[in-house]
Amino acid sequence: MSEARLSMGVSAAGASKPAQPKHFSVITRSGEVKHVDFNAVTARLEPLGEGLNHNFVSIDKVAQKTIIGITDGMPTSEIDELASRVAADMATQHPDYNLLAGRVSASNLQKTCPSSFVEAARKLHAGDILADDLYEFILANANVINASIEHANDMVFDVFAMKTMARSYLLRVDKVLVETPQYM
Cβ–Cβ under 8 Å, residues 41 and 69 = no
What distances in angstroms separate CA 57 from CA 19, 53, 67, 108, one per listed residue? 19, 6, 17, 20
Residue 157's contacts (CB-CB under 8 Å, 6 or more residues apart) are 102, 106, 165, 181
Provide the pLDDT confidence category of residue 101 given band limits of 50, 70 and 90.
very high
Predicted confidence (pLDDT) at residue 12 exceeds the cutoff of 60: no
For 123-133, what is each residue's pLDDT tens digit?
Answer: 999 999 999 99
Domain residues of the chain, as ranges? Answer: 1-112, 113-184
Is residue 112 within 8 A of residue 146, CB to CB? The reply is no
Chain-centre distance for alpha carbon 6: 30
Q: 24 pLDDT band (50/70/90 cuts)? A: confident
Per residue in 34-57, pLDDT tens? Answer: 998 899 999 999 999 999 999 999
pLDDT surpasses 70 at 2: no
pLDDT of residue 22: 55
Catalogue the E-assigned strands of 50-113. Answer: 74-75
Q: What is the pLDDT of residues 64-96, one digit of tens each?
A: 999 999 999 999 999 999 999 999 999 999 999
What's the pTM? Answer: 0.84
Q: Are 101 and 84 in contact (CB under 8 A)?
A: yes
Q: For the chain, first and last CA: distance in Å?
A: 55
Higher-pLDDT residue of 119, 9: 119
Residue 118 has pLDDT above 80, yes or no: yes
